[in-house]
Amino acid sequence: MSYKPLILLRLPVHICAIRNTCNTGPGPMSVDIGGRLRFIRARQKLSQRELAKRAGVTNSTISLIESNQMNPSVGALKRILDGIPMGLAEFFALEPESRRKIFYRAEELTEVGKKPISYRQVGDNLFGRSLQILKERYEPGSDTGRVHLVHEGEEGGIVISGKLEVTVEDERRILNPGDAYYFESRRPHRFRCVGGKPCEVISACTPPTF
């Protein structure tokens, strides 16, 4: 994939402050870049994989940035935002809500998935949050894709109804109602609904992924 040459512009001070940061690993940042990117991507109903494809970067790059383990250069961030699309000024103008909601009715859960898999998220704005809770529903035969998922963090879930096939590296299990899973998300994994009935799962992951 070819890239357009990067043109440096005069940027506001709060953007220039991160111009020279492209190191991995946790470090001091004046702006929660990862939380902003994750919130905007989820609002646009884009998976990490889809955004990575649009931006011409790897899935792991998006995952590392969203978990604030990689601080992108302005050029890299602009390329990723172009895949949404969104400008740098709008990105840095985003601010978290001053007051967070505590309770949510069933109809207030936010859909962040796409058929045939539904992911209904507790809360519509996870900006600044470190945990994501989902009510998942898989239609019969649906799965998370041929390519295994890999991202930073940990995740776990409990099957509520139906049967769910969970593959983590070379381990595979079919889980029934009441069964559960819990693993490090950096291990390649995949989910598939088996049997003739939909499967429902309550899951949680940290940091938020979708």
Domains and CATH numbers, the chain: 13-93 (1.10.260.40), 106-206 (2.60.120.10)
Q: CB of 185 within 8 A of CB of 116?
A: no
pLDDT digits over 16-72, tens only? 333 333 444 444 445 788 888 988 888 888 888 899 999 999 988 998 998 888 899
> Which stretches within 56-178 are classed as H helix?
59-66, 74-82, 88-93
Q: Which residue's entry shows tokens 């963090």?
A: 153
Q: pTM (2 decimals)?
A: 0.67
Share of the chain above pLDDT 90, in %: 50
Nearest Cα neighbor of 75 from 1, 19, 33 is: 19
- Distance CA(165)–CA(209), nearest Å, equals 20
- Distance CA(81)–CA(14), nearest Å, equals 17
pLDDT digits over 71-103, tens only? 998 889 999 999 999 989 888 887 766 677 899
Residue with more model confidence, 148 or 11: 148
Residue 210 has a pLDDT of: 72
